[in-house]
Amino acid sequence: MHRMSGRSRHPIAPRAIHRSGAELHEDICEALLAREDLDTSDVTVTVHEGQVTLDGSVPERSMRYLIEDVAAGHPAVHDVDNRIRVRRP
């Protein structure tokens, strides 16, 4: 259920959204797989108590930041540690 403020038409998320580590990991991985513009074949996602760690490598710098944005966009994520490197040709 979303509450709507009088000023904004955007839904306001509940204060605390709780997901188990496994559920949050699955949510983030599914969101990344849904993005056809991202090469996540060498990316590892680790979740511990709302903290997401991204590790591995990608072919383009923009992908590094887009992957971080996808992970950080989940309402149950408290922080993202982006350790993804950009592969050099």
How confident is the prediction along the chain (89 residues), in pLDDT tens digits per residue? Answer: 444 445 545 455 444 456 778 999 999 999 999 999 999 999 999 999 999 999 999 999 999 999 999 999 999 999 999 999 999 87
Coil, strand or helix at 79:
strand
pLDDT number for residue 18: 62
CB 34 within 8 A of CB 67: no
pLDDT number for residue 20: 78
Coil, strand or helix at 72:
helix
CA 25 distance to own-chain centroid: 9
**For the domain with range 20-86, which CATH number is right: 3.20.20.140, 3.30.420.40, 3.30.1340.30, 3.40.50.300?**
3.30.1340.30
Q: Would you list the DSSP string of 4-71? A: E-SS--SEE--S-----HHHHHHHHHHHHHH-TT---TTEEEEEETTEEEEEEEESSHHHHHHHHHHH
pLDDT number for residue 15: 46
Residue spans of the domains in the chain: they are 20-86
- pTM of this structure: 0.77
